[in-house]
Structure 1
Amino acid sequence: MLDPIVDFFSRVFQAIGRGIGWVVGIILWPFMAASRWYARRGWLIKGPIGIVLLVLFALYANFFYQTQRWAGFDPDYVQAYDLTTRNVSAGEQITAGGAGDTTRTCGRSAIADVTADLIDFNVNENSWISSMLLYKMGFFGIRWDNTPFLDNQASFQRGVNQAIRRTSIELVDSLGRIRGTSQIDGDLQKARENMQFSEDAWYFGINPFGPKTPTPSFYRTAIGSLRVFNDRLERCQAVFDARADNLIQFIDRIANDIGSTSAILRERSENYDLGWFDTRADDRFWFAYGQLYGYYGILHAAGADFEDVIAQRSIKPLWDTTEDQLRSALRIQPFIISNGNEAGWIMPTHLATMGFYVLRVRSNLVELRSVLDR
């Protein structure tokens, strides 16, 4: 009685197997044809082609290694700064020198230090993936961002970079100057200009055509500018205006920034719920993850730089809660990103989960701003 059913499913699976074999055959056919052509050539042709293939193999092996190597990645990286025991606001005078000398010292900016370290993490501890030649070439002409392969670190780095760019702007416009009419700090301005450079520049470009300075070089210059500013600040030769209204504005800009990311996650989650087959879900997820990773350190640093404001306004518990929620978001590290339907029961919905944490962090930032603004 069961034989017809068994036969039916056998035929179905055989048909599926033949279909898979047919697809694999189509994919492999150009390579098989090329290998047969290569085998019939003489060494005068085989030699140069073989060298080119070996070079390509080495380049792709290095590219694979660099995209899978996340050196220095640590969701608890803020603990290494030990800022909870500092008790000195950025720019606050610590020691006074004698009359007319330059031996007095002031508090460094933890925000500038963390921002410089995040750039160093992106371009020195790791390779900057977005401007690598093979990343720009894509997968047989298809952008790596449109595939489920080898693009997670690039998206993560761009997310961290988004937090860095936002912070570099705020350092120039408000934090590193007194009021809005004072002179802009030259080192902070250089850092901002370099961080706004294109994220995917290689040594040569088409638009405009000609040689270029690659992206990592600009970002490395920004590291130096931030550290020079902090060294000057430590010698009381620069300004960090740790006022409450500056902190309010900084929090407001961060809240708006991650609010935009929340909208991107929501749009992808609602309109492209293809589960594990959504090839852009991983880009959105790791960009948001990288952004929160960057802001986790930057907000932790802001808590030290604005230590007096936070103590005077009695918002330390709320500030700690915001940091805890940022750290909670960084616990989500799925092996494969799935953009399943929120009402589904088979495929997970990692984008909606990340969106929930992003909104929760943003809600706490809005509450922080509201308390500070009273």
Structure 2
Amino acid sequence: MLDRIAGFFRSIGRVIGRWLRLFVAWAFWPFMAARGWYVKRTWMVRLPILALVVLLAGLYGYFFWQTQSWSGFNPSFVDQYRLSERTVPAGQEIPPAAGAAPTAAKTCQRSAIVDVAADLTDFNVNQNAWISSMLLYRLGFFGIDWDHTPFLDNKASFQRGINQAIRRTSVELVDTLGRVRGTSGINNDLQNARGNLQFDEYSWYFGLNPFGPKTPTPSYYRSAIESLRKFNADLGTCNAVFDGRADNLIQFIDRIANDLGSTSDVLAERSANHSRGWFDTRADDRFWFAYGQLYAYYAILTAAQSDFSRVVAERNLGAIFSATTKQFQAALRIQPAIISNGREDGWIMPSHLATMGFYILRVRSNLVEMRSVLDR
């Protein structure tokens, strides 16, 4: 009996080995054929080809490094702001220190939401390369979109998830948080930031539609960082507005809950209709996009608790915010090396998309509860 089992596994090994040899032969045949042609050419032909090969090797090496190196990645980075030490809501005047001169210029509290949005964008385009607009990412894997492969697309999806949350936040900053509705105009710095953050995520230095040179995506996002920080500098000198009313917080929470609900629906659809385990090549970008959203919204909502501290205290929202924070932290601890989209009742391949969708819905339910408390 044991001999039969051992023989069965040996036969499987032989079949796998045979297919691997065939695959290697198929994959390397064009290169071997090109080598045979190359060695017969003169150096006038060989040198430019060699230079092109070296250039491509360097570009792909750089591309591989950038997709695998996540500089500054820290799900708990919001702790560095020490928001619990702030005693004044965003936009409100900070009481002068004891012994300060009566003529000292007044200062107001900066917005933690704006600081976080600027720093998250800086993380995307300055601390890391913006993957989605890199030339080799645009070219794909032998013409196949990297998002349709299991390779080198996780960081790009993660960055786009962060950017989705920042875009949503920038809209709310322009429309409600950065102005007193009905009595003040739109802040130009926030308006510029919103416009730049809405720019196409895939633009390189040259494009085909329209044809011609372009400004790449990271340049627009860097301009948005400058605009956000300029707004916060003006807010710190009491020359800008942050309207921290309860109804504005309700609307902000509504928008975030809707955004997360849309992502949850995408995860549910993929989990239900494409449960191919480790062989679902789109599961990884769905997972890391959702992870990027949660990464950003965890920091943004923690910042919102500080910016709206007066409303939070008046409505006794501290416990709900704390519960929401714990749900975010639990979701961000899920960092599998390989994303699997197996059946939810399967016993071999896990369903990481279903797990992430579960945590998103937990977060969203807390946000809905928070909104109901605010709306009473």
Alpha carbons of structure 1 residues 2 and 372: separation in structure 2 relative to 1, 3 Å: closer
The TM-score normalised by the length of structure 1 is: 0.96
CA shift, 1:27, in A, is 1.6
Match of 1:299 in 2: 301
Matched residues in 1 for 2:104 and 2:6: separation?
90
- Find out whether 1:272 has 2:274 as its counterpart: yes
CA shift, 1:24, in A, is 2.2
1:301-340 aligned within 5 A: 301-340=303-342
Aligned length: 373
Match of 2:208 in 1: 206
The TM-score normalised by the length of structure 2 is: 0.95
Match of 2:117 in 1: 115
- Find out whether 1:163 has 2:127 as its counterpart: no
Match of 1:242 in 2: 244
Matched residues in 2 for 1:184 and 1:373: separation?
26
- Find out whether 1:17 has 2:17 as its counterpart: yes
Alpha carbons of structure 1 residues 327 and 5: separation in structure 2 relative to 1, 3 Å: closer
Secondary structure, counterpart of 1:205 in structure 2: strand
Alpha carbons of structure 1 residues 15 and 71: separation in structure 2 relative to 1, 3 Å: closer
Match of 2:263 in 1: 261
Match of 1:358 in 2: 360
Gaps of 5+ in 1: none
Matched residues in 2 for 1:59 and 1:262: separation?
36
Gaps of 5+ in 2: none
Matched residues in 1 for 2:77 and 2:14: separation?
52
Range 80-89 or range 172-181, more displaced: 172-181
Q: CA RMSD in A?
A: 1.9
1:21-40 aligned within 5 A: 21-40=21-40
CA shift, 1:5, in A, is 7.6
Instruction: Say if 1:198 and 1:215, in contact at 8 Å, map to a contact too.
Output: yes
CA shift, 1:6, in A, is 6.6
Matched residues in 1 for 2:171 and 2:305: separation?
19
CA shift, 1:168, in A, is 0.3
Secondary structure, counterpart of 1:201 in structure 2: coil
Partner letter of residue 355 of structure 2? T
Match of 2:106 in 1: 104
Alpha carbons of structure 1 residues 92 and 12: separation in structure 2 relative to 1, 3 Å: closer
Match of 2:180 in 1: 178
Instruction: Say if 1:339 and 1:348, in contact at 8 Å, map to a contact too.
Output: yes
Alpha carbons of structure 1 residues 52 and 153: separation in structure 2 relative to 1, 3 Å: same
CA shift, 1:8, in A, is 6.6
Matched residues in 2 for 1:36 and 1:63: separation?
29
Alpha carbons of structure 1 residues 177 and 44: separation in structure 2 relative to 1, 3 Å: same
Alpha carbons of structure 1 residues 22 and 232: separation in structure 2 relative to 1, 3 Å: same
